[in-house]
Amino acid sequence: MPRTLITGGAGFLGSHLCERMLQEGHDVVCMDNLITGDMDNIAHLIGREGFRFIKHDITEYIYVEGGVDYILHFASPASPIDYLKLPIQTLKVGSLGTHKALGLAKAKKARLLLASTSEVYGDPEIHPQVESYWGNVNPIGPRGVYDEAKRFAEAITMAYRNHHGVETRIVRIFNTYGERMRINDGRAIPAFMSQAILGEDVTVFGDGSQTRSVCYVSDLVEGIYRLLLSDYADPVNIGNPDELTMLQLAREVIDVLGGNATIVYRDLPVDDPKVRQPDITLARTLLGWEPRVDRREGLERTARYFMQKLRP
């Protein structure tokens, strides 16, 4: 039976990956220091055969008894509200944490999949973003702590593959949404939904013309799983290429919730990307993957979760 370690396993994406790997017949070790993760995300897995939780900061030495076949390295603050509040921790988990995870992969002869991000492209000058694009990142701006941590993580992952022969995979994750996102996450969909459900004004930054491409979590997990089992070592974009403006997304969220919330506008944050859209040609060609869940359906599922959280 394969054994998989998932760092950041109590987070939004990590908890869904814990479920998926258990479904695939893996023993799962979930590791998280709970700085942004939440035990509620994995409460239904505690006590399940083949599942174990370890509270640990992976910037320190990682010890896992016994064999490990796969490591899914998803530990990191991942929203602007988090990495602006936790800049040093974000840099440390991207650098020291990735180093420790790769060291464990080397010792255990495990395959490691790194959760990278579309933020490595920064405020892109190429649109849509293809994996060969090197990006346009401000290393000393407020978002640099996250962007550069992930860029370093990719570099050290490739170094371990090329120098030590560690089997590695790199997924560049574009905006993802779904159940278990935090209410106070700070990203667009949780913010829009929370505000609309609570009867508040819905806040759009800038004039709302900046674009994103949002992927439902089950689609993302499927792409990650296929990449993990593939033979491809270079970065692969996983995300939904269906691009829309933030104003359009806000209106869709309000419509899904059946409300009549007022949209208000605030100043655009520093270095906020103007566009974001993945080129998923590689994922389609190599993995036979593309998103399946319609955005309306995904938003409705997510809205039910947020309603339960905000109006139990």
Count the alpha carbons within 13 Å of 147 in the hemisphere toward its beta carbon. 21
Q: Is 199 exposed, middle or buried (0-12, 13-18, 19+ CB in 10 A)?
A: exposed
At how many degrees (to 10) do helices 12-23 and 217-229 cross? 60
At how many degrees (to 10) do helices 188-197 and 295-310 cross? 50
| Cβ count near 207 (within 10 Å) | 11
Catalytic one among 70, 146, 160, 177? 146
* Cα–Cα distance for residue pair 37/31, rounded to 1 Å: 10
- Do residues 80 and 122 make contact, with C-beta atoms less than 8 angstroms apart? no
Spatial CA neighbour of 254 closest among 301, 177, 189: 189
Per the structure block, which two tokens stand in for 153? 């993580």
The CA-atom distances, in angstroms, between 90 and each of 68, 77, 118 are 25, 6, 16
Q: What secondary structure does DSSP assign to 95-137, as a single string?
A: IIIHHHHHHHHHHHT-EEEEEEEGGGGBS-SSSSB-TT---B-
* Cα–Cα distance for residue pair 246/306, rounded to 1 Å: 19
Q: Catalytic annotation on 146?
A: yes
Q: Give the catalytic positions in this structure.
A: 146
